[in-house]
């Protein structure tokens, strides 16, 4: 008997183990299969619940056709049985090293029910022709909530169905629902909302805050590319290496700062660009001037710059007298003279390029080198021009805005919301790259970008925080790199030093004239 013990599959020890509760070990494969079949059935019920009524018939027909086809194939039923067994084993496997079902705690169930009750006044109606309504005052959240996720006890993702009669094409109606969801999911965070109008699905995702400690620095870009700021990693397919503020301070002190890759919002200019000009509108102190300074420092790497400082605050005096800066003007007379020169220069470039093409020659370098025209707060100068009976400086922008792409002239205009109504039709019509900065409402974002913001209100809006849209593309979250005025003593010294390091070398004393 002893010589058969090593090869016996059923020994006394096994019998004892089974008698002491080892039956569960023996039946474990069956339990896994049963659990997997249950989960597959739950997935099927969830798919059936979220399938629109008009698609249920075609779906059943497709499933029946597939079943008949499998039945007629050689060994079809056997292969189908094996596939079902494999799927059941996969979905019934132990997760995290223990056999456990995905259950919700009492607090999480209460949060989902609270969100459902908050949506009932907007999604319910008395007579629903579909029979049992998705949203009712005595209903439950299981039919309306397709998927959900919690992190640290708070909702991090929510996918809900809404009735087909809801006007999801109207921005105002969307905004009401987004505000309700953001309030019930927890304030103090920023949420992204994605509306699937074809399937009547709304997805809400809690977003991580954008990085705010990235100062101005030489970004890795190609010709005609300008980094406006940084956004979410899922929104763009590109990253650039940057140094954070702490890393730059460490590097400046002799340490080795670590690089990190962040996703940028890249604005492309040039003769083939579809968004050759930029319009920036923000609230007071939101960082519009900082964005203009960042664009100027990047533009000076490959071109020339003309700056018009409308409010005369001196935020661009650091550029005066630098190589590549043709003029920094803050007075009405100087602004008119500089913009009149820009008009003549645009016309000269167009004529030079046209003559070169007629003769089959290459366009001269002075007619295709980038020329940037940067205007900060032009509404102030327009008001002064009307008071003195002089031409509006914004009207002089019509020629470079209309023909700037062909002439290599790029226009950047920055204004505050309080004076946005002073912007002329040309300034509002031609710039197709647009940025909104500051604590803004959904209506303000839509009025500038022509599309709704993908997220709700920002709980705490740091300087340089906003949204960007390039042409007809999606609306992106944006965080502008910190580019303060080097003479601003309220800014961090590391950020001011970073701006000073990017300034071109001086060629003459500051304020020694303008572009002629």
Beta bridge partners of 454: none
For residue 502, pLDDT over 90 is answered with: yes
The reported pLDDT for the residue numbered 246 is 53
User: Is 222 marked as a binding-site residue?
Assistant: no
User: Is 490 marked as a binding-site residue?
Assistant: no
Alpha helices in 230-310 (DSSP H): 245-252, 288-299
The reported pLDDT for the residue numbered 39 is 75
The predicted model gives 67-80 an average pLDDT of 81
User: Is 286 marked as a binding-site residue?
Assistant: yes
Q: CA-to-CA distance for 39 and 28, rounded, in angstroms?
A: 16
Pair 425, 417: CB distance under 8 Å? no
Count the alpha carbons within 13 Å of 468 in the hemisphere toward its beta carbon.
24
218: its two tokens: 């030489």
23: its two tokens: 């039956």
Q: Could you tell me whether strands 154-161 and 145-151 are parallel, antiparallel, or unpaired per DSSP bridges?
A: antiparallel
Q: How far is CA 11 from the centre of its chain?
A: 65
The reported pLDDT for the residue numbered 245 is 65
Q: How far is CA 161 from the centre of its chain?
A: 24
What pLDDT, in 10s, does the model give residues 324-342?
999 999 999 999 999 999 9
User: Is 389 marked as a binding-site residue?
Assistant: no
User: Is 289 marked as a binding-site residue?
Assistant: yes
φ, ψ of residue 266 in degrees (nearest 5):
-100, 125
Q: CA-to-CA distance for 58 and 66, rounded, in angstroms?
A: 12
- Domain extents in the chain: 15-91, 106-207, 225-502
Question: Between helices 76-91 and 28-50, what is the axis angle to 10°?
Answer: 90
The predicted model gives 263-274 an average pLDDT of 93
* Strand order across the 201-207 sheet: 145-151, 154-161, 201-207, 190-196
The predicted model gives 302-318 an average pLDDT of 92
CA angle 99, 100, 102 (to 5 degrees): 150
Alpha helices in 102-187 (DSSP H): 106-123, 171-185
The predicted model gives 182-190 an average pLDDT of 86
Pick from 305, 300, 301, 292: which is nearest to 464 by CA?
Answer: 292
Structurally, at CATH architecture level, domain 106-207 sits in 2-Layer Sandwich (3.30)
User: Is 285 marked as a binding-site residue?
Assistant: yes
User: Is 287 marked as a binding-site residue?
Assistant: yes
The reported pLDDT for the residue numbered 37 is 82
Q: CA-to-CA distance for 422 and 505, rounded, in angstroms?
A: 36
- Per-residue pLDDT band for 186 (boundaries 50, 70, 90) equals confident
**What's the mean per-residue pLDDT of the chain?**
84
Would residue 99 be called left, alpha or beta, if left means φ above 0 and alpha means ψ between -120 and 50 degrees?
beta
What pLDDT, in 10s, does the model give residues 94-140?
543 333 334 566 788 889 999 999 999 999 876 555 557 888 888 88
**248 CB contacts (<8 Å, ≥6 apart)?**
215, 217, 257, 494, 498
DSSP, res 363? P
What pLDDT, in 10s, does the model give residues 74-104?
887 888 888 888 887 777 765 433 333 345 6
Pair 171, 446: CB distance under 8 Å? yes
User: Is 331 marked as a binding-site residue?
Assistant: no
Pair 502, 219: CB distance under 8 Å? no
H-helix or E-strand spanning residue 386: helix 378-388
What pLDDT, in 10s, does the model give residues 405-420?
999 999 999 999 999 9
**Quick count: other Cβ atoms within 10 Å of Cβ 197?**
11
Say which residue the tokens 């593309």 belong to: 473
H-helix or E-strand spanning residue 146: strand 145-151
The predicted model gives 148-173 an average pLDDT of 89
Q: CA-to-CA distance for 133 and 143, rounded, in angstroms?
A: 9
Pick the CATH number of 225-502 from 3.40.190.10, 3.40.50.1970, 3.40.50.10490, 3.40.50.300: 3.40.50.300
Beta bridge partners of 95: 98
Question: Between helices 332-358 and 378-388, what is the axis angle to 10°?
Answer: 110
């Amino acid at each position: 008997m002893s010589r058969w013990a090593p090869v016996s599959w059923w020994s006394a020890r096994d019998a004892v183990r089974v008698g002491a509760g080892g039956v569960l070990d023996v039946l474990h494969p069956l339990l896994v299969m049963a659990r997997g079949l249950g989960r597959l059935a739950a997935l099927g019920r969830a798919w059936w619940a979220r399938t629109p009524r008009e698609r249920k018939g075609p779906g059943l027909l497709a499933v029946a056709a597939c079943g008949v086809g499998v039945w007629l194939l050689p060994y079809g039923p056997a292969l189908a049985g094996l596939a079902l067994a494999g799927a059941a084993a996969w979905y019934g496997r132990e997760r995290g090293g223990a056999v456990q079902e995905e259950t919700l705690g009492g607090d999480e169930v209460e949060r989902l029910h609270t969100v459902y009750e908050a949506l009932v006044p907007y999604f319910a109606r008395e007579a629903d022709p579909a029979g049992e309504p998705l949203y009712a005052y005595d209903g439950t959240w299981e039919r309306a909530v397709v998927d959900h996720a919690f992190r640290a006890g708070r909702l991090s993702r929510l996918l809900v169905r809404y009735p087909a009669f809801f006007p999801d094409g109207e921005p105002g109606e969307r905004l009401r629902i987004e505000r309700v969801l953001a309030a019930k999911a927890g304030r103090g965070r920023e949420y992204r909302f994605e509306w699937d109008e074809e399937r009547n699905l709304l997805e809400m995702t809690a977003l991580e805050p954008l990085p705010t400690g990235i100062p101005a620095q030489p970004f890795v870009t190609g010709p005609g590319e300008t980094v406006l700021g940084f956004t979410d990693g899922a929104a763009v397919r590109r990253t650039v290496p940057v140094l954070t503020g702490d890393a730059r301070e460490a590097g400046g002190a002799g340490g080795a700062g670590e690089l990190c890759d962040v996703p940028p919002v890249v604005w492309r200019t040039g003769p083939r660009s579809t968004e050759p000009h930029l319009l920036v509108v923000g609230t007071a102190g939101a960082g519009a001037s900082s964005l203009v300074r960042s664009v100027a420092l990047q533009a000076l790497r490959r071109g020339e710059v003309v700056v018009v400082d409308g409010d005369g605050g001196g935020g661009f005096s650091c550029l005066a007298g630098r190589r590549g800066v043709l003029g920094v003007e803050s007075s009405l007379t100087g602004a008119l003279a500089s913009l009149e020169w820009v008009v003549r220069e645009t016309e000269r470039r167009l004529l030079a390029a046209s003559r070169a093409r007629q003769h089959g020659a290459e366009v001269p370098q002075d007619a295709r080198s980038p020329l940037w025209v940067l205007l900060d707060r032009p509404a102030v100068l327009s008001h002064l021009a009307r008071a003195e009976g002089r031409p509006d400086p914004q009207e002089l922008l019509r020629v470079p805005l209309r023909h700037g792409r062909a002439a290599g002239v790029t226009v950047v205009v920055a204004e505050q919301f309080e004076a946005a109504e002073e912007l002329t039709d040309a300034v509002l019509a031609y710039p197709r790259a647009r940025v909104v900065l500051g604590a803004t409402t959904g209506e303000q974002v839509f009025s500038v970008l022509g599309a709704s913001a993908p997220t709700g209100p920002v709980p705490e809006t740091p300087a340089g925080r906003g949204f960007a849209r390039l042409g007809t593309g999606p609306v992106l979250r944006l965080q502008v790199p910190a580019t303060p005025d080097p003479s601003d003593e309220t800014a961090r010294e590391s950020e001011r030093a970073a701006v000073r390091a990017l300034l071109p070398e001086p060629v003459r004393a500051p304020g020694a004239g303008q572009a002629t």
